[in-house]
Amino acid sequence: MNQTQRQQFFSRLRAHNPAPTTELNYNSPFELLIAVILSAQATDVGVNKATDKLYPVANTPQAILDLGIAGLKSYIKTIGLFNSKAENVIKTCQQLIDKHNGQVPDNREALEALPGVGRKTANVILNTVFKHPVMAVDTHIFRLANRTGLAKGKNVREVEDRLMKVIPNEFKLDAHHWLILHGRYVCTARKPHCDQCIVTDLCDEFRRMQATSRKTA
């Protein structure tokens, strides 16, 4: 995929969905931070089911600390790896109070110092909450970027760095959401829905499949 095609790629995604956002339910930076920590190796639907019950009871660092780890686990036990996630959430809440006056920090170094927060989670918060033009690469975006030729890479960091180089500046703020939604619902891992895709003519893999089918016809 060349740069002209990348421009067309994102222009179409923007026209189809002008105001993309996360599918995690949240009403504050802290709620999103906890939801993203819980979302590792879990679905947004599963996380939302848990946080929709948790947040009316405890949606601040102090409230979750008051709930305690056993109380927290009772709300998130349906989520994979809930034991380790509960420990990280409790530690993160304490650190937010001790070092950040209970507020979610707006810089990468401070975010990545929080238990349970890695580069991807930090990027989600920086992008969604603080409107930084950064790219959080998950399994959906990694697959889509390589499959389409948008930004090839052997690992998520390579793909992230490549995406940040090749995505036109006007699209960088929303690119994460466009790509994750497209990968989640259209460019799926098994049997991608190419018949529903608005960018098939720009996709390296689709063009290869077409060329192969013509040769075998």
CATH of the domain at 95: 1.10.340.30
Could you say which of 85, 120, 154, 204 is catalytic? 120
Give me the phi and psi of 77, to 5 degrees please.
-65, -15
* Annotation says 49 is catalytic: no
Q: State the residue range of the domain holding 100.
A: 29-128
| 49 lies in the same domain as 73 | yes
Domain count, the chain: 2
pTM above 0.75, yes or no: yes
Is 53 a residue of the active site? no
Helix H, strand E, coil C: the string for 114-169 is CCCCCHHHHHHHHHHCCCCCCCCCCHHHHHHHHHHCCCCCCCHHHHHHHHHHHCCH
* pLDDT score, position 211: 81
Distance in angstroms (rounded) separating the CA atoms of residues 29 and 7: 31
Last residue of a domain, one of 81, 96, 128: 128
| Residue from 73, 85, 138, 174 carrying the catalytic annotation | 138
What's the pLDDT tens digit per position in 70-126? 999 999 999 999 999 999 999 999 999 999 999 999 999 999 999 999 999 999 999
Residue pair 134/123 in contact (Cβ under 8 Å)? The answer is: yes
178-189: average pLDDT = 96
Residues 43 and 111 in one domain: yes
